[in-house]
Amino acid sequence: QLGYSEFIQNIVQQETNAKTERSIRYRIEESKLPRPYKMLAGFDFGFQPKLNKKLVLQLATLHFFDQCQSLLFIGDPGTGKSHLAQAIGLIACQKRHRVLYTTCSDMLNDLNQGVYEKTLLTRLQRYVSPDLLLIDEMGHDSLELEVTKEAHLLFKVINERYNKNKPLIFTTNVEEPDWADYLGDPISTKAILDRIFHHSIKVEIKGPSYRKYEGEKLQRQYAQDTEEP
Lowest mean pLDDT among 110-119, 134-143, 202-211: 134-143
**DSSP letter, residue 172:** E
Classify the C-alpha dihedral 194-195-199-202 as positive or negative. negative
- Residue 50 burial by CB count (10 A; 0-12/13-18/19+): exposed, middle or buried? exposed
Residue 214 pLDDT more than 50? Answer: yes
Q: In this predicted structure, what is the pLDDT of residue 229?
A: 58
Smallest CA-to-CA distance from 32 within 128, 112, 134, 114 is with 134
* Nearest of 35, 146, 43 to residue 101 by alpha carbon: 35
Higher model confidence: residue 199 or residue 89?
89
Q: Length of the chain in residues, anyone?
A: 229
Cα separation, 26 vs 106, in Å, equals 22
Nearest to 83 by CA among 36, 122, 120: 36
As a whole number of angstroms, the distance between CA 45 and CA 205 comes to 11
Confidence band for 175, pLDDT divided at 50, 70 and 90:
confident
Read off the pTM: 0.86
Looking at residue 87, its pLDDT comes to: 97
Q: How far, in whole angstroms, is CA 105 from its chain's centroid?
A: 14
